[in-house]
C-alpha cells in the first residue's frame, strides 16, 4: 500500500489522494501536521529537503512533488482505473500541452489569489487586495482562452479526461468557493462552467474534497 505523508486538507495532498481514488490505488494517509510545522522538522526534511507536503513511500520508493507523484502512479498502473495519461504520442503531446496550460495559465494566478484570500486570513494576516485584483484581471483573459478550447472539445486535451483537467481541482475548488466575482469567472463562461461542473463532481474528487 502506498503511504501518503501529508495533511488531509492540503491542496497537494488531496491531488495525490484524488489520483489514488481515480486509479483504485489503496493508500494510507500518514498525517504531517502542516499547521504545527511538522514538515520542517529535521526528521522530515531528511526525506523531503524542501520541507513541503506531500511525499509518498511506495514500498521503499520515496517521491515528492505532487505532480510527479501523480504521473508516477498513473504510469505505474496504466490499466487500472481511469487512464488519465494517454500513451499515443500525439494524444500524449496534447495532454502535456494541457498540463502546461494548467500550470502556467491557471495555477500561476489562482494559487496566489487563494493564498491572499483564504490562507493569509486563516493565519491572521491581511490580504493584498491590489495584488488579487491584478491577478484576477490577468486570469480573466486566460479563462477566455479556456472557453475557446472547451467550445471545441469536452476536456482540455480532447474528449477524454486527463490529469491535466483533474490538476485544476484542489486550488480551483478553493478559488471557486470564495464565491462572488471568483465563482462568476467560471459561471459566466458556459463551456468553462460545463467543464468545471463535470470534473468537480467526479466521485473520486467528492471522496477527497474535504480531506484526503
pLDDT (tens digit per residue) in 57-116: 999 999 999 999 999 999 999 999 999 999 999 999 999 999 999 999 999 999 999 999
- Residue 84, domain member (yes or no): no
The pLDDT value given to residue 192:
98
59 in the same domain as 145:
no
Query: pTM for the whole thing?
Result: 0.96
- Residue 82, domain member (yes or no): no
123 in the same domain as 61:
no
Mean pLDDT, to the nearest integer, of 45-66?
98
pLDDT-based confidence at residue 34 (cuts at 50, 70, 90)? confident
Q: How many helices and strands, by DSSP H and E, does the chain display? A: 12, 4
106 in the same domain as 197:
yes
Range of the domain at 121: 89-206
The dihedral formed by the CA atoms of 72, 77, 80 and 83, expressed in degrees to the nearest 10? 50
197 in the same domain as 98:
yes
Q: Using an 8 Å Cβ cutoff, are 167 and 202 in contact?
A: no
160 in the same domain as 133:
yes
182 in the same domain as 118:
yes
Mean pLDDT, to the nearest integer, of 189-198?
98
136 in the same domain as 50:
no
Cα separation, 93 vs 85, in Å, equals: 10
- Residue 134, domain member (yes or no): yes
The percentage of the chain sitting over the pLDDT mark of 70, rounded to a whole number, equals 100
CB burial string 153-186: b at 16+ within 10 A, e below: eebbbbeebbbbbbbbbbbbbbbbeeeeebeebb
186 in the same domain as 148:
yes
The number of folded domains in the chain is 2
The pLDDT value given to residue 19:
98
Considering the chain, what is the average pLDDT of its residues? 97
Q: At residue 127, does pLDDT exceed 90?
A: yes
180 in the same domain as 113:
yes
Cell of 211: 480531506
Mean pLDDT, to the nearest integer, of 41-53?
97
196 in the same domain as 96:
yes
202 in the same domain as 104:
yes
Cα separation, 174 vs 178, in Å, equals: 7
192 in the same domain as 115:
yes
Q: At residue 35, does pLDDT exceed 90?
A: no
Amino acid at each position: 500500500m502506498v503511504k501518503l505523508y501529508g495533511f488531509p486538507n492540503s491542496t497537494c495532498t488531496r491531488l495525490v489522494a484524488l489520483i489514488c481514488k481515480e486509479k483504485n490505488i489503496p493508500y494510507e494517509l500518514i498525517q504531517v501536521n502542516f499547521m504545527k510545522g511538522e514538515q520542517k522538522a529535521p526528521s522530515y526534511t531528511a526525506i523531503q529537503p524542501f520541507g513541503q507536503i506531500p511525499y509518498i513511500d511506495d514500498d521503499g520508493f520515496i517521491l515528492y512533488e505532487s505532480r510527479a507523484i501523480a504521473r508516477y502512479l498513473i504510469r505505474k498502473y496504466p490499466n487500472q482505473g481511469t487512464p488519465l495519461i494517454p500513451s499515443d504520442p500525439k494524444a500524449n503531446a496534447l495532454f502535456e500541452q494541457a498540463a502546461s496550460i494548467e500550470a502556467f495559465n491557471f495555477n500561476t494566478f489562482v494559487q496566489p489569489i487563494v493564498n491572499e484570500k483564504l490562507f493569509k486570513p486563516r493565519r491572521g494576516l491581511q490580504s493584498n487586495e491590489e495584488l488579487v485584483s491584478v491577478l484576477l484581471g490577468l486570469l480573466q483573459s486566460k479563462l477566455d482562452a479556456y472557453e475557446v478550447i472547451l467550445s471545441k472539445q469536452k476536456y482540455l486535451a480532447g474528449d477524454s479526461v486527463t490529469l491535466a483537467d483533474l490538476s485544476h481541482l484542489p486550488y480551483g475548488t478553493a478559488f471557486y468557493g470564495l464565491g462572488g466575482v471568483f465563482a462568476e469567472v467560471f459561471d459566466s463562461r458556459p463551456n468553462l462552467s460545463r467543464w468545471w461542473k463535470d470534473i468537480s463532481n467526479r466521485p473520486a474528487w467528492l471522496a477527497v474534497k474535504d480531506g484526503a
